[in-house]
């Protein structure tokens, strides 16, 4: 019943990455980052002797309570989902991916209908596995990536191979946490960040990335999923913000009603290029390389940013259209009480 309602009512989703941090001290190496990905992830620091922050690596989001473990989706009995009219995973929606595994709504927006916005992939429990064209995110990382140290933006991620538009890059993985856990963690980390203010220019620093995804249904109901990769996460934790990013977020469900945030190339990306994402809200049906307006910074791309307010952080993306500050969701605070509609 819930799945049918979701497919009938789903309109769009918004997200916000809550960011706070201070400048860090700086560390030299080129080795493999400990991970359980299908392919190794390298890291490199040619500036100093700092190593990437400690991280318990996971390839997909990890539930912290039973709420995120119970909602499972049925598997399909198809031998070829691309020709089946009764696939339990695709349903009445058109295929989300083309024959090369690229997200169709990015490759050819005019050819993608609104049904493609809700992506439900086939899994290893389906009869079509492992050669199904409707399995992309569930196969995990296939693009060689490298985490590297930057001069003024901490750690970042670059691709070691060229990527076409619509190509899947990686998932934004972390712990799935409740609203109460979010408030407690953000409160603690903000206190830690305040202490770190005294260490600017040569001491400890605190960074915190908590992504909150809100799915908006026609009925007005909002489904919220919160991902915290601060201590438990994957390579996406190191991807920086840019006001004109080369990656876009798309929600994908794989065997569960809980969505996974998958990052896809929204334009062609050259080998060696840094990967970036936009940290604010956007309408996935209109996803493009142009970032949407931020609620607080406002103004058209390229226009001046509004004066800095409490909680905002200066943006260092260097884009011509840089708005000056990272997107700031004034509604997404540690006192946010909008959690009655959590799935």
Query: For 45-88, what is each residue's pLDDT tens digit?
Result: 888 888 888 889 999 999 887 666 656 888 899 888 877 778 88
Q: How far apart are CA 7 and CA 163, in angstroms?
A: 30
Write phi, then psi, for 116 (nearest 5 degrees).
-70, -10
pLDDT band, residue 115 (cuts 50/70/90): low
Q: Tell me the pTM.
A: 0.80
Q: 207 near 284, Cβ under 8 Å?
A: no
Q: Which tens digit of pLDDT belongs to each residue from 223-256?
A: 888 899 988 999 999 999 888 899 999 999 998 8
Angle formed at CA 169 by CA 271 and CA 333, multiple of 5 degrees: 120
Q: Which tens digit of pLDDT belongs to each residue from 286-324?
A: 333 444 443 333 323 233 333 444 456 778 888 887 877
| 3-class secondary structure per residue, 90-143 | CCCCCCCECCCCCEHHHHCHHHCCHHHHCEEECCCCCCCCCCCCCCCHHHCCCC
Residue that wins the pLDDT comparison between 36 and 234: 234
> Which residue from 6, 308, 57, 18 is spatially nearest to 182, judged by alpha carbons?
18
| 3-class secondary structure per residue, 257-324 | CCCEEEEEECCCECCCCEEEECCCCCCHHHCCCCCCCCCCCCCCCCCCCCCCCCCCCECCCCCCCCCC
Contacting residues for 34 by C-beta, under 8 A, at least 6 apart: 57
Q: How far apart are CA 262 and CA 276, in angstroms?
A: 13
What pLDDT sits at residue 314? 78
Hey, is 253 helix, strand or coil? strand
Q: How far apart are CA 148 and CA 50, in angstroms?
A: 11
Neighbours of 151 (CB within 10 A): 8
Does 278 have pLDDT greater than 60?
yes
Looking at residue 2, the DSSP 8-state letter turns out to be: H
Does 208 have pLDDT greater than 70?
no
Write phi, then psi, for 11 (nearest 5 degrees).
-110, -60
Instruction: Report, as an integer, the average pLDDT of 173-198.
Output: 82
């Amino acid at each position: 019943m819930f799945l049918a309602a979701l497919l009938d009512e789903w309109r769009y989703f918004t997200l916000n990455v809550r960011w706070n941090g201070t400048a860090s001290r700086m560390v030299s190496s080129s080795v493999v980052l400990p991970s359980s990905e299908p392919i190794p992830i390298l890291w490199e620091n040619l500036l100093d002797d700092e190593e990437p922050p400690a991280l318990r690596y996971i390839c997909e989001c990890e539930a912290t309570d039973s709420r995120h473990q119970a909602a499972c989706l049925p598997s399909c009995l198809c031998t070829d989902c691309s020709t089946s009219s009764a696939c339990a995973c695709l349903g009445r929606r058109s295929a989300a991916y083309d024959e090369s595994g690229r997200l169709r709504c990015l490759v050819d927006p005019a050819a993608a209908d609104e049904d493609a916005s809700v992506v439900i992939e086939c899994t290893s429990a389906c009869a079509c596995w492992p050669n199904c064209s409707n399995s992309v995110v569930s196969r995990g990382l296939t693009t060689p990536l490298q985490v590297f140290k930057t001069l003024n933006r901490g750690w970042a991620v670059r691709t070691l191979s060229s990527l076409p538009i619509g190509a899947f890059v990686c998932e934004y993985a972390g712990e799935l946490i409740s609203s109460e856990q979010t408030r407690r963690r953000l409160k603690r980390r903000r206190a830690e960040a305040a202490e770190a203010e005294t260490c600017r220019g040569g001491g400890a620093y605190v960074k915190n990335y908590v992504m909150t995804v809100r799915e908006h249904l026609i009925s007005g109901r909002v489904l919220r999923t919160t991902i915290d990769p601060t201590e438990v996460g994957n390579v996406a934790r190191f991807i920086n913000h840019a006001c004109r990013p080369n990656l876009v977020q798309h929600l994908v469900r794989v065997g569960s009603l809980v969505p996974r945030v998958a990052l896809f190339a929204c334009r062609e990306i050259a080998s060696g290029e840094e990967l970036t994402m936009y940290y604010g809200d956007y309408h996935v049906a209109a996803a493009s390389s142009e970032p949407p307006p931020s609620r607080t910074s406002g103004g058209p791309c390229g226009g001046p940013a509004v004066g800095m307010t409490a909680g905002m952080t200066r943006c260092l993306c260097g884009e011509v259209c840089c708005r000056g500050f990272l997107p700031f969701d004034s509604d997404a605070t540690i006192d946010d009480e909008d959690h009655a509609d959590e799935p």
